[in-house]
Amino acid sequence: MSWPMIDPLAQMLVALFLAGFFLSGGFHKFRDFERFVSLLGKYDVVRPNLLALAAGLVVAVETTIGLALLTSLLFPQLRILGMGGFAAGAALLFAYLLLMAYSLARGNREIDCGCSFRKQRSLISAWHLCRNGVLILICLAGVLPVTARELQTIDWLHLPLMVLAAGMLYVLIDTLLANRSYLTPNSTA
């Protein structure tokens, strides 16, 4: 049995999408740091005197993951950075998933997930866990061995459009999650 492999175009798409995802997430949290510290405190898993430090670490880790993924694309000889970025991204997203699941299990559904790129609140739900599960799988796809296929001109032309489409799909899902209470007023999921 052989390992599954990923097409080089698909791996570049995954790396660029995730680099944008983590860099914009880190920037979003840094830009409104006090709000992020407050939001992190509502999860009630970090001591209050350590909240700013924990929030700063999250911003640093997200930014580092994004930069590692970009660097591995710009300098193929540093591909190991990309592998580390994919693995660290999956681990961080899994930690977020566990944090949200823990809060949901305690019945604390009135917490903003902190994942929206806008100031719009997005209360945690089982749908956020599903979304994070998909993002984790995307990260793990990035560590698959790459096929030996050479990229063609058409691949390079399609890549920016594919990254844009993936980003737009994420924003659409993010917006639907943030507005789900308006879409299904009686829903608690």
Instruction: Express each pLDDT in 68-88 by its tens digit.
Output: 999 999 998 999 999 999 999
Does the pTM exceed 0.85? yes
What pLDDT score was predicted for residue 33? Answer: 94
Q: pLDDT category, 118, cuts 50, 70, 90?
A: low
Q: Which residues contact 115 (CB under 8 A, 6 or more apart)?
A: 25, 96, 122, 128, 174
Binned at pLDDT 50, 70 and 90, residue 119 comes out as low
For 86-106, give one letter per residue: b (16+ CB within 10 A) or e. Answer: bbbbbebbeebbebbeebbee
Q: How confident is the model at residue 188 (pLDDT cuts 50, 70, 90)?
A: low
Give the integer Cα–Cα distance in Å for 94 and 164: 25
pLDDT of residue 117: 64
pLDDT score of 122: 82
Give pLDDT tens digits for 125-170.
999 999 999 999 999 999 999 999 999 999 999 999 999 999 999 9
Amino acid symbol at 167: G
- Band (pLDDT 50/70/90 cuts) for residue 111 is confident
Mean pLDDT of the chain: 91
